[in-house]
Amino acid sequence: MADKKVKSDGAELFWRREQGWDKLARGEEKKLERYCAEYIGFLSKAKTERLVHDYMLDLAQKAGFQNLEQVNAEGKKLKPGDQVYRSYGGKTIMLMRVGKKSLSTGLNLVGAHSDCPRLDAKPSPIYQDDDLVLLDTHYYGGIRKYQWVAIPLAIYGVIIKKNGEKVQVAIGDDAQDPVFVITDLLPHLEMEGDKKTLATGIPGEALNVLLGSRPADSKKGEKEVKDRGKLRILNLLKERYDIEEEDFFSSELEIVPAGPARELGLDRSMILGYGHDDRICAYAAAKAILDCKVVPERSQVTLICDKEEIGSYGATGMDSSFLENTVAELFEACGAYCGLNLRRSLERSKMISADVSSLHDPDFAGVSSPNNMARINCGLALTKYTGSRGKSGASEASAEFVAEVRKVFNDNKVHWQSSELGKVDVGGGGTIAHLMARYGMDVIDCGVGLLSMHAPWEVAGKLDTYMAYKGYKAFLEYDF
């Protein structure tokens, strides 16, 4: 819809990308604003993949989705219109609605990821250097390290104690909480540092989070303890969470930007937030399936997975057998599991790999392919292929499937635009698309374009944010 013919002397000559605001249907702007306000609330709260999972699980349960594993354990059978979910590892979750057609005719799938670039605490993280107590980190995903210094940070995650008890950690977003920071060099002393590049100025090992500076109280007559600053921090952690230093070995602590997502710009046309990639698509995919009220022809699936930012490896990533295993469970619940029918179902499925794309940024026009880059608020970005260099590593959608998706969007007044990550040979990237395509299904990358992708604070257009929801819903409901 965004690539539109423009009339010149009465003749339709060119295709042009257009801002979507003027083309919204009557009353749609209100819906858009309401949706974006809810999304801002979600993004401000769900700052880890575990929290996204818990949020989605809660939404699904409230909407009447049943636990698929329990359905099978009890030997219940599902009928068209029934809704189930499967949760795995507390991180990956799949929501499903059974359609009228048999599962072997294929599923309509929208898959997004909930993990975001961040800093993880190392297994033995707390140490004292001079008078400062610091948390040693290992960065996760592709970050530009210099962006993470001198900004307020929060710590989220879980610590599993010796006795198996799970401690939830969330410090830095409550108004009463302290925040954390990684220090940077003052400009007065950076003459040597100035010669370094953005990539080498802040090395990974320098990403140490400042936790404290005050020594533990020393009692009279007591022997002097070394690292009394660290002792105070450990004492505070003991008091608040009843944990010991060894418990950090069995923890997952993520350091993320502190503060809520916000409306951006005097015109409030954008959203600034941590983790748009890919929670903006994950939220849209989940809301879309929840809001499909009619019993569908083809079964619908929304998949929210983990580990995309580090290559999708691991049990909760899409390189695992989670999708296959879950669809097998669904077959069992819909009648009986049959290996051949499972394969047929996956091969005949249609999928949107719901992940973000980059927007053309006039400040960095040198890395853009101007005619092929998405623009802010010109609609949902359809990316035919990703990869790098000569499309290496790309899962390219076929012309036939692009035509089908284009029709779904046009028929449902979803504003969309074509998109490429950037100029040929300057870089590249990938998504979960190729891992789904190995089953033989049609897959296309389709998501919201961002400015400052992977930065602590990313920028998204409100119209694009809403169109992701509208587009995914239309796709899930379509009878291919």
Shortest Cβ 447–Mn ion spacing (Å): 8
Stretch that binds Mn ion, among 143-151, 170-178, 255-263, 348-356 (CB under 5 A): 348-356
Of residues 334 and 380, the one with the C-beta less far from Mn ion: 380
Q: What is the CA radius of gyration of the chain?
A: 24
Shortest Cβ 356–Mn ion spacing (Å): 5
Shortest Cβ 476–Mn ion spacing (Å): 20
Shortest Cβ 286–Mn ion spacing (Å): 16
Compute the distance between CA of residue 336 and CA of residue 359 in angstroms, rounded to an integer. Answer: 46
Q: Nearest residue to Mn ion, using CB?
A: 278
First to last CA, the chain: 20
Compute the distance between CA of residue 227 and CA of residue 424 in angstroms, rounded to an integer. Answer: 52
Of residues 124 and 392, the one with the C-beta less far from Mn ion: 392
Shortest Cβ 307–Mn ion spacing (Å): 11
Stretch that binds Mn ion, among 60-68, 74-82, 271-279, 288-296 (CB under 5 A): 271-279
**Cβ-contact 455, 449 below 8 angstroms:** no
Of residues 14 and 364, the one with the C-beta less far from Mn ion: 364
Interacting residues with Mn ion between 84 and 143 (CB under 5 A): none
Nearest to 59 by CA among 88, 38, 75, 44: 38
Among 49, 82, 329, 355, binds Mn ion (CB under 5 A): 355
Rounded to the nearest angstrom, the gap between the alpha carbon of residue 79 and the centroid of all alpha carbons in its chain is 32
Helix (H) or strand (E) holding 164: none
Residue 49 contacts Mn ion per CB under 5 A: no
**Cβ-contact 47, 274 below 8 angstroms:** yes
Stretch that binds Mn ion, among 16-24, 272-280, 370-378, 391-399 (CB under 5 A): 272-280
Of residues 94 and 133, the one with the C-beta less far from Mn ion: 94
- All residues at 6 or more sequence positions from 239 whose CB lies less than 8 Å from its CB, including other chains: none
Compute the distance between CA of residue 46 and CA of residue 53 in angstroms, rounded to an integer. Answer: 9
Residue 254 contacts Mn ion per CB under 5 A: no
**Cβ-contact 281, 107 below 8 angstroms:** no
Of residues 142 and 265, the one with the C-beta less far from Mn ion: 142
Stretch that binds Mn ion, among 276-284, 337-345, 366-374, 460-468 (CB under 5 A): 276-284
Shortest Cβ 109–Mn ion spacing (Å): 17
Total residues at the site for Mn ion (CB under 5 A)?
3
Residue 278 contacts Mn ion per CB under 5 A: yes
Biggest alpha carbon–alpha carbon distance for the chain: 95
Stretch that binds Mn ion, among 58-66, 95-103, 179-187, 270-278 (CB under 5 A): 270-278
**Cβ-contact 204, 250 below 8 angstroms:** no
Shortest Cβ 460–Mn ion spacing (Å): 13
DSSP reduced 3-state for 455: coil
Compute the distance between CA of residue 18 and CA of residue 412 in angstroms, rounded to an integer. Answer: 18
Of residues 278 and 396, the one with the C-beta less far from Mn ion: 278
Compute the distance between CA of residue 87 and CA of residue 57 in angstroms, rounded to an integer. Answer: 8
Per the document, the length of the chain is 480
Residue 277 contacts Mn ion per CB under 5 A: yes
Of residues 247 and 254, the one with the C-beta less far from Mn ion: 254
Shortest Cβ 456–Mn ion spacing (Å): 13
Nearest to 61 by CA among 98, 95, 112, 108: 95
Write out the residues near Mn ion by the rule CB under 5 A: 277-278, 355
